[in-house]
């Protein structure tokens, strides 16, 4: 994989580690509530669901990090799979939750996926 692809993969992985922290540990914090437009009551009522979602984001990050550390023989295949998962989740999230997800999640994944595939 090219250095460009690896940098883009690392950015997507770090982004998903950040999502993990927000959703698993900071969901009810005032700053997180403001970012997601939630009241304290809404955050409290959804914190278990958010933590579950955060765990999934952690698995995506782990897979992307694995692709960066894996032998060259299969690193690109791992990256392609995990980036495709992020892209599909981002597209779905943009349609069902918030259009901003297309910019924050789907676009970086698409750029990294293109770099893995084309470079």
pLDDT of residue 52: 97
pLDDT of residue 88: 98
Give the global pTM.
0.93
Q: What is the DSSP letter of 105?
A: I
pLDDT of residue 89: 96
Q: What is the pLDDT along the chain (119 residues), one digit of tens a residue?
A: 999 999 999 999 999 999 999 999 999 999 999 999 999 999 999 999 999 999 999 999 999 999 999 999 999 999 999 999 999 999 999 999 999 999 999 999 999 999 999 97
pLDDT of residue 19: 96
Terminal-to-terminal C-alpha distance of the chain? 7
Cα–Cα separations (whole angstroms), residue 40 to 24, 28, 102: 16, 7, 26
pLDDT of residue 32: 96
pLDDT of residue 119: 72
49 is written with which tokens?
Answer: 């669901």
């Amino acid at each position: 994989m090219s250095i460009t692809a690896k940098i883009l993969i690392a950015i997507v992985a770090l982004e998903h580690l950040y999502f993990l922290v927000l959703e698993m540990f900071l969901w009810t914090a005032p700053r997180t509530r403001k970012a997601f437009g939630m009241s304290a009551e809404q955050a409290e009522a959804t914190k278990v669901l958010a933590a579950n979602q955060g765990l999934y984001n952690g698995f995506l990050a782990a897979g992307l990090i694995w692709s960066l550390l894996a032998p060259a023989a299969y690193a690109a295949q791992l990256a392609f799979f995990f980036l495709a998962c992020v892209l599909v989740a981002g597209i779905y999230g943009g349609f069902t939750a918030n259009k901003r997800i297309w910019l924050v999640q789907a676009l970086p994944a698409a750029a990294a996926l293109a770099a893995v595939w084309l470079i």
